[in-house]
Amino acid sequence: MTPQAAEHRATQLPGRTEALLALLRGKKRMLVLTHNNPDPDSLGSSLGLRYFANLACQVESDFALSGRILRAENQEMVAQLGIVMTPLERIRPGDYDCVALVDTQPGFGHTIVPPGCSVDIVIDHHLGDDPTKIGNEPFRDVRCDVGATSSLVSTYFREAGFVPSCEVATALAYGIKTDTADLSRNVSELDLRAYDFLFPYVDRQKLVAITRPQLPAAYFQTLKEALHKVRRYQHVALCSLGQIGSVEMVAEVADLLLRMEGIRAVFCGGLVDCSYYVSVRTEMNGDAWKLIADAMKGEKGTFGGHGSVAGGSILLPCGDTRTLRRLERRLERNILRSVGVEGANATGLGDIDE
């Protein structure tokens, strides 16, 4: 459909898509921001929003990267789909007349909005650590019952009658897949409909390449060390990794442990530089947010989550091993109390030494 035709149809569009188009019309250059160390959902939704804004309203855009692209899958996604990113420190806010934040919100701890940027667009599905704080950005589409921000962005395409490119469709579909564990967790009607809409345009070869990338030998070494530190308390698995080299190991170990028979909640943490990162996974009523809130009570940290997945971080004085050990013990105690297995005996995964 031509932009003129879309404009003509705009009065019939459902409210949010229409409001987004109205805001984008007349804008020239948009800056898209997301959280630090973007995950597939934030990469997918930012690519999708940029393509949508260009197709619908000829808005040019840049995507600012803060932090790094961590998991091998995410790096493969960037390579396969040609996702172009500008390091945040090279961004000049004065170059943009529109700022969008996807898969996170202003004020969230793992999110940097450069000084001088006022945010026009927020598209997200997370509950923040203070649900009473609600922003008043000109366009705000925050739906916590939806599994992925990529589903919200796909819905704008569908409702406005635009077709995503195969790269954009693949990115959005992979964003939905990862945030909903292949449409099995945190999944709503809107996610299913978005995935159905995207699927005919998805490059399935690229999608498979992204899902199963090659891994360096060092990855398996780190994984081996991490598995040594796993402790089981009935249906709960804890893994306090201490100091680690790569932050992605925290979430990867958490994902892996939730697949262990009999395990229904996982808490994994590790220190990288001066930040202690935590990941929570649960199948107990799907409320990872409550578990991480309980675990981090009293700590000076930030966290967020939805459904069965949550994550957070706590700043620590650098190089202080005793403070690190104490923090790990406090977090473990809190989580065991929260899931009701306080006082249970711990067992390791077991090997010939134990």
Contacts with Mn ion by CB under 5 A lie at 41, 103, 149, 179
Exposure string for 41-60, b = 16+ CB within 10 A, e = fewer = bbbbbbbbbbbbbebbbebe
CA 328 vs CA 153, 195, 314: distances in Å = 38, 39, 11
Would you say 186 or 338 has its CB closer to Mn ion?
186
- CB-wise, 10 or 127, nearer to Mn ion? 127
Q: Which residue in 99, 146, 149, 91 sits closest to 120, CA to CA? A: 99
Q: What angle do CA 323, 325, 328 make, to 5 degrees?
A: 105
The Cα-based distances of 314 to 22, 109, 241, 269, 302 in angstroms read 40, 10, 14, 10, 7
Q: Are 302 and 110 in contact (CB under 8 A)?
A: yes
Q: Quote the least distance from Cβ 193 to Mn ion, whole Å.
A: 17
Q: How far is the CB of 152 from Mn ion (least distance, A)?
A: 10
Q: Which is nearer to Mn ion, 241 or 311 (CB)?
A: 311
Least Å distance, CB 138 to Mn ion, is 22
Q: Which is nearer to Mn ion, 152 or 226 (CB)?
A: 152
Task: Kindly state the smallest distance separating residue 41's Cβ from Mn ion, in Å.
Answer: 3
| Chain position whose Cβ is nearest to Mn ion | 41
3-state secondary structure of 66: coil
350 backbone dihedrals φ, ψ, rounded to 5°: 85, 130
- Indicate the residue among 41 and 328 with the shorter CB distance to Mn ion: 41
For residue 34, which of 83, 97, 80 has the smallest C-alpha distance?
83
Shortest distance in whole angstroms from residue 125 CB to Mn ion: 6
